[in-house]
Amino acid sequence: MSVFGKRIKKLRGSQSIEELAKKLNEKYETTISKSMISRYENGQSDPRMEIVRIFADYFQVSADYLAGLSEESKPRVTEKGGLYTIAAHHEGEEWTEDELEEIEKFMEFVKSKRKQKGEKNV
């Protein structure tokens, strides 16, 4: 079974595959079948990225978690409750949670400098 399949099965819990497919199709106006979900859970098929995003949104977890790229299940969230994304070219390096927090602090520092410059120009 793939990491994606294991995690979908775990997140689905006692909800039937049929019930999950129905809810996904209603909420996201898609055509995910019971057999597709079963193939994902049994590692017989890999989902397209759009399907990963749908499952991530439905279960309120990160796509990285579903894909097995992170053990952190919850997506990073901004202070205002929105999803938080940092895009950067990093030549295949892996970032730790501490390093990502440091990057976030630096971003806040840069924003505060931008505000200070804006106030000086007024």
Q: pLDDT tens digits, residue range 45-75?
A: 999 999 999 999 899 888 888 888 878 776 5
Q: Please return the burial class of 8, using the count of CB atoms within 10 Å of its CB with bins 0-12, 13-18 and 19+.
A: buried
Task: Evaluate if pTM is beyond 0.85.
Answer: no
What tokens appear for 3 in the block? 């990491």
In the chain, count of helices (H) and strands (E)? 6, 0
| Residue 4 identity (one-letter amino acid) | F
Domain at 1-74: CATH code:
1.10.260.40
Look over the chain and give the mean of its residue pLDDT values, rounded to a whole number: 81
Inter-CA distances, 36 with 22, 26, 33, 82, 89, Å = 12, 16, 5, 30, 34
Q: Domain residues of the chain, as ranges?
A: 1-74, 86-122
Q: pLDDT tens digit string along 2-54?
A: 899 999 999 999 999 999 999 999 999 999 999 999 999 999 999 999 999 99
Per-residue pLDDT tens digits for 108-122: 888 887 777 776 655
At 72-92, the pLDDT tens digits run: 776 555 555 555 555 555 566
Q: What are phi and psi of 2, to 5 degrees?
A: -75, 160
